[in-house]
Amino acid sequence: MEEILRLLYSLQTVDTKLDELEELKGDLPEIVKALENDVSQVKDTIKEKEDIITTSVKTRNKADLDIHDFKEKLEKYKSQQYSVRNNKEYDALTKEIDFAEQSIKDLEAQFSDLEKTMDVAKNEITELSQKLEEAEKNLEEKRKELAEVSKATEDEELKLTHEREKIKVRLQKDILPRYERIRRARDGRAVVPVRRNSCGGCHNRIPPQRILELRTNTKMYMCEHCGRILVSSEIAESVTTAS
Ligand SMILES: [Zn+2]
């Protein structure tokens, strides 16, 4: 049991150091992720606006052709009006002329609406492109910062991770999940030493009888207040001197 307690405290020491290294990086990993998200969102929106312009150009060109066709027809109808033989023919032609004139009006309205839509989209793209440029510049900077911090901590991190693996293989399989669970629930600290007859985690007093039992290092005790695994100060000291 003494060996297990020692390993557990070693694991805790390594994990605490790894947590500290992670803290050095601060919010940088999250900031980089958020900026990457921003950049890809702005890119998507720009693509949407470009699609709107492409579709609008097609529809506008079609409207332009149709206007041209109707105008030609209109001219033809108007010249035919001079050579009609009866009222019926005249009425029929008038109907065609009305229809062509209304169609031209509608198409011209559509044409100018599309021009407006395209103008709006173009302005939005200009604004978005500026935003994109800024976001990309910002992302570049934060990525560089993160890379620098990571480079500085990389060796240490590698060493600690390796040490962690070595400890893990020597620990019983059922202890590890328990350790991880307490660590998650208790601020990253699952194993704490006894300090001045109190729990090194929550600082609550430990009954004298329990202190005596703890000193024998023969059983795993948990703090009855915070649930952390307690080790005697002797175990803690032996780990600290060894590392
Ligand atoms: Zn406690």
SS3 for 91-159, per residue?
A: HHHHHHHHHHHHHHHHHHHHHHHHHHHHHHHHHHHHHHHHHHHHHHHHHHHHHHHHHHHHHHHHHHHHH
Ligand 1 mean position to 235 CA, how many Å? 17
Ligand 1 mean position to 114 CA, how many Å? 70
- Tokens (6 digits) for 29: 């990993």
Burial of 207 per CB tally in 10 Å (0-12, 13-18, 19+)? exposed
Ligand 1 mean position to 187 CA, how many Å? 12
Ligand 1 mean position to 208 CA, how many Å? 15
Ligand 1 mean position to 236 CA, how many Å? 16
Share of the chain above pLDDT 90, in %: 91
Ligand 1 mean position to 213 CA, how many Å? 16
* Domains detected in the chain: 26-170 (1.10.287.1490), 172-242 (no CATH)
**Beta strands per DSSP E along 162-205:** 191-195, 198-199
What are residue 194's DSSP bridge partners? Answer: 199
Ligand 1 mean position to 160 CA, how many Å? 26
- Residue-wise pLDDT tens digits, 95-105: 999 999 999 99
**138 in Cβ contact with 36 (< 8 Å):** no
Question: What is the pTM assigned to this prediction?
Answer: 0.60
- Residue-wise pLDDT tens digits, 55-111: 999 999 999 999 999 999 999 999 998 898 999 999 999 999 999 999 999 999 999
What is the spatial distance between Cα 45 and Cα 185, in angstroms, rounded to a whole number?
41
Ligand 1 mean position to 122 CA, how many Å? 63
Over 80: is that where the pLDDT of 242 sits?
Answer: no
Ligand 1 mean position to 156 CA, how many Å? 30
Instruction: Walk across the sheet containing 191-195 and list its strands.
Output: 198-199, 191-195, 229-231, 221-222
**Cα-Cα-Cα-Cα dihedral of 65, 70, 72, 75, to 10°?**
-160
* Average pLDDT along the chain: 95
Share of the chain above pLDDT 70, in %: 100
**227 in Cβ contact with 185 (< 8 Å):** yes
- Residue-wise pLDDT tens digits, 124-142: 999 999 999 999 999 999 9
Q: Are strands 198-199 and 191-195 parallel, antiparallel or unpaired?
A: antiparallel
Ligand 1 mean position to 219 CA, how many Å? 17
What is the spatial distance between Cα 178 and Cα 133, in angstroms, rounded to a whole number?
48
What is the spatial distance between Cα 242 and Cα 9, in angstroms, rounded to a whole number?
12
Q: What angle do CA 210, 216, 218 make, to 5 degrees?
A: 95
What is the spatial distance between Cα 221 and Cα 230, in angstroms, rounded to a whole number?
6
Ligand 1 mean position to 207 CA, how many Å? 12
Over 80: is that where the pLDDT of 243 sits?
Answer: no
How high is the pLDDT of residue 189?
A: 97
